[in-house]
Amino acid sequence: MYHPVTFIDATCLPLILRKRFYPHPFSHNHHHASEYSCPGNTASGFHAATIVLSNDDGWAEMNIRTLYRTLQGSGHDVLMSTPPADQSSAGALTAPPTPLDIPCHYYACHAGSPVQGTWPSDHNITYVNSYPTTAMTMGIERVINQTGVLPDLAISGVNLENNLATTTGLTSGAIGAAKAASLLHVPAIAFSGHSGYPMAWKSVTPLHSRVYAAMALQLTNALLASGAPYLPGGTWLNVNFPNVELGVCDAEGDGKFVMSRLYDGMGQVNVKTCGKKQLPTEASVIETEGCYVSVSLGMAETLKDASAADQEMVRQKLAGILTCSP
């Protein structure tokens, strides 16, 4: 059962099960994404994008399924390409996919399943039995093979637990997937959330999954509305959502996006904003009372903070949603 976030008309969702990348043999609808957009659910000025969506928690996890539906509900073409099970500490590991010797997460596929598979009712939901980096890379390759061009955007998440560069940056499979996309010249965002726990796709959609998906869509559409190039070359956005709390941080409009930095290096040169010479750290942002979301720009090759010039480019592109931390 899917409980849509406030700005998505649930009656539109069944119409947006796109078959662009993997046409269903019984589907004869080949509309453009804009023809599927539901009234009242799009950000002003954004364009419908081709997005590859991955994670490190597995293809049957609630968070990614909720984000998948939310992105589709906003009019985007989305191909989901993830590992079939949890690969949370895989980092940037990569390997050729192999047949499954154990069932998928939540028994969403059986042992002995092939190296790649698709969801029976939606062929744009796919797994690749390897690491998140491999799944993201193969998803991007599939889009290129089907469309002849790179996808507009790659998204990893929403990850179960925050991915702060100082604690999980080098080991996170979600960040590894975003890094892989960036190195393939696809703008990439990694979304991670403080609240939540592993939950199968078929459960009742919890509040945190809906709130995080809505916030992720808000930032995604703001970035798309800014026009290409969406991010400086060779970078990725690392976005961390705070704890979901009733009455404080429990709706899409509650999120306050703050430009932050990955590492607490006093010698760093950051973009000057909010009257300060240095950006706040990710941890300090999400720990601030009031639903603050950290938005950091990292270099994919090194996983270090991007330059002040690149940070300034992103600050200008997201100026419409960014605020200052108290």
Architecture of domain 10-323: 3-Layer(aba) Sandwich (3.40)
Q: Which residue has the higher pLDDT, 32 or 211?
A: 211
The pLDDT of 15-44, averaged and rounded, is 34
pLDDT at 167: 74
Count of alpha carbons within 13 angstroms of residue 325, beta-carbon side: 22
Minimum mean pLDDT range among 3-12, 96-105, 151-160, 314-323: 3-12
Task: Say how far apart CA 132 and CA 90 lie, in whole Å.
Answer: 7
The pLDDT of 259-282, averaged and rounded, is 88
Residue 13 has pLDDT above 70, yes or no: no
Residue 30 has pLDDT above 50, yes or no: no
Cβ proximity of 262 and 166 under 8 Å: yes
Give percent of the chain above pLDDT 70. 85
Task: Say how far apart CA 95 and CA 98 lie, in whole Å.
Answer: 9
The pLDDT of 32-37, averaged and rounded, is 33
Cβ proximity of 240 and 194 under 8 Å: yes
Residue 31 has pLDDT above 60, yes or no: no
- CA-angle at 49, arms to 252 and 55, nearest 5°: 65
Neighbouring residues of 227: CB distance < 8 A, sequence distance ≥ 6: none
Cα 95 from chain centroid? 22
Task: Say how far apart CA 237 and CA 293 lie, in whole Å.
Answer: 12
Full-model pTM: 0.86
Cα 263 from chain centroid? 21
Task: Say how far apart CA 306 and CA 181 lie, in whole Å.
Answer: 16
Residue 26 has pLDDT above 80, yes or no: no
Residue 109 has pLDDT above 80, yes or no: yes
The pLDDT of 273-289, averaged and rounded, is 94
Per-residue pLDDT band for 169 (boundaries 50, 70, 90) equals low
Task: Say how far apart CA 92 and CA 306 lie, in whole Å.
Answer: 19
Residue 284 has pLDDT above 50, yes or no: yes
